[in-house]
Amino acid sequence: MENDTLSTYDQLMKDAKRRRKFDEEYRQLVLVEILIPILEKSEIPVRTLAKAAGVSPTIIQEIKSGKKEGISYLTFLSILEALGYSARIQISKSRHPRIRRSRLPKKIQQPRRARKLRSFH
């Protein structure tokens, strides 16, 4: 007999709205988790770093203490740059797209043919 009972997590993730909220909060949490070890190594005072990054000293302090659960990507980049780091984004095709081609209007479902670029020489 196969166990068809879904875990609480799986039940919650079936709801698209909850899934999107979870995904967003998870992405924000990951940004904080990346910053924590970098901030621990940094000897720059919280107020100095906050001013250089253009954020509130409270945000920096909450990240360092583990109280901050999530931050925006812009805040993440600002803090990284102030500390002398940079970030690179890798874009890859998701295995679970939010928009299915079959739900798009037929006009959009069909990929456009490549247009030839005109030369202005």
Q: Where are the domains of the chain?
A: 13-88
Q: Give me the pLDDT at residue 108, please.
A: 56
Give a three-class secondary structure readout of 86-119: CCCCCCCCCCCCCCCHHHCCHHHHCCCCCCCCCC
The per-residue pLDDT for range 59-106, each reduced to its tens digit, is 999 999 888 878 888 999 999 999 999 888 777 777 766 666 666 666
Q: Is the pLDDT of residue 25 over 80?
A: no
| CATH architecture type of domain 13-88 | Orthogonal Bundle (1.10)
The pLDDT mean for the chain works out to 79
Comparing 60 with 17, the larger pLDDT belongs to: 60
